Amino acid sequence: MKKTLRYLGACGLCALFTLVAPHPTLAQDKLVEEANASWNKYFNKGDAHGLAALYDEKAVVSPGNGKTVQGREEIEKLFKSYFDAGVHDHTIDVVRASRVGNVMYETANWTAVAEKDGKRTQYKGVLLKVMTKSADGKWRTTAHTWNAEENK
C-alpha cells in the first residue's frame, strides 16, 4: 500500500510539474516566428507603412536612445528615418518567447546593416517586444524596445 501511494504521489507531482513548468509550445513558437518573419519582410522591403500596421494604434516604441514614440504614425516616421539612412537586412533570433492568454512577449537578438556613401556598417542588439491579440484576431505589437551597437 505504501509503495502504491508513493507511486501515485510521484505521478501526481510529475503531472503537476508538467502543467506549471514554463515551456514553449510549438504553436507559440510558430506564432512568434511568423510575427518576426512578417516584421522582417516589411522592414527589409523598406515599407514603413506596412511595418507600422503591425503595431497597435497606441503602441509605444523605444529605439534605445532614451526616447519613445507612440502610435502608428510616429512609428512609421521612425522606421522611415531608418530606411532613409540606408538600414536593411534585418534579422531576428529569438532567445525566449512566452504566451499568457492574449499576450505574447519575446526577447531576441537582432542584426541589421546600414549603408551610406558606399560604407556598410553592421549593427546588432537585443530587443524586447510585447504583442497582444486584438479583437480582429491579429497579433499586434503594443510595446517594443531595443538597444544597438556596432557589430565589429
Tens of pLDDT, residues 109-136? 999 999 988 899 999 999 999 999 989 9
pLDDT attached to residue 59: 98
What's the average model confidence in pLDDT over 72-86? Answer: 97
pTM for this entry? 0.80
Q: Who's near 48: CB < 8 A, 6+ residues apart?
A: 76, 77, 79, 80, 83
Band of residue 30 on the pLDDT scale cut at 50, 70, 90: confident
| Residue 34 pLDDT greater than 90, yes or no | yes
In this structure, the number of other CB atoms found within 10 A of the CB of residue 99 comes to 19
pLDDT computed for residue 29 by the predictor: 78
Among 3.10.450.50, 3.40.1030.10, 3.40.50.620, 1.10.287.3510, what is the CATH number of 24-150? 3.10.450.50
Q: How far apart are CA 54 and CA 82, in angstroms?
A: 17
What is the pLDDT at residue 23? 44
User: Alpha carbon of 88 to those of 10, 68, 83: distances in Å?
Assistant: 53, 22, 7
Separation between Cα atoms, residue 49 and residue 152, nearest integer Å: 31
Non-local CB neighbours of 88 within 8 Å, separated by 6+ positions: 43, 44, 46, 112, 113, 115
